[in-house]
Amino acid sequence: MQISPSILSADFANLEAELGRIATADWAHVDVMDGHFVPNLTLGLPVVEALARVTPVPIDAHLMIDDPDRWAPAYAEAGARSVTFHAEAAAAPVRLARELRAQGARAGLALKPATPIEPYADLLPEVDMVLVMTVEPGFGGQSFLDVVLPKIRRTRQAIRDRGLDVWLQVDGGVSVDTIERAADAGADVFVAGSAVYGADDAAGQIARLRELAATHAH
């Protein structure tokens, strides 16, 4: 059970210090948004490169951008240890996943809430992680969509059926109130933004989330 706090909820003026607050986490989740694929603009390559130099935990880059085939490999080069691109945006997902792995990064495939896993099930051996979005991507602080839970179950089953060691990440509305449902459905990597950064004791909150997830692990 891994916790990947999202810096989308951090203080953007103090990112190095904010990364320090989550030093006990497994990953630092960095949301890259281009204002096209999602209706928000966050940060890009130069910032990810700078963060990779100072982060106490590996960077988990989630690219909510158009044309990831062109841009994603640069994030692996910049030092992101895991790079996730969206199924809906990639023209050649297998080629892209192989390129990311060749760069030494873990390759992740992300699905918006309405995107089914089934068309991508045969691609699972080509990726290291599937990210099932539990909110519509674009903004932090949204409520967890329970309607996505059956898809998390089907994704976990598809991974099992193929005997793969693929991580299943959930992102959106993950908190002490929702993490157990996500873990029970088969998720094992949890992105939490406001739940961690909104807490007075980030490390304590990370430990609590990890513990809650572990008790419902499948």
Structure tokens at 1: 């059970």
Chain centroid to CA 1: how far? 13
Nearest CA among 2, 17, 130 for reference residue 58: 2
By DSSP bridging, strand 106-111 and strand 129-133 are: parallel
Which residue type is seen at 23?
A
DSSP state string for 166-209: -EEEEESS-STTTHHHHHHHT--EEEESHHHHTSS-HHHHHHHH
Torsion angle in degrees (nearest 10) through CA of 104, 100, 144, 215: -30
CA atoms within 13 A on the CB side of 34: 15
Name residues whose C-beta falls within 8 Å of residue 163's C-beta, 6 or more positions apart in sequence.
none
- What residues are labeled active site? 31, 171
**What is the distance between the alpha carbons of residues 216 and 181, in angstroms, rounded to a whole number?**
8
Structure tokens at 215: 């008790």
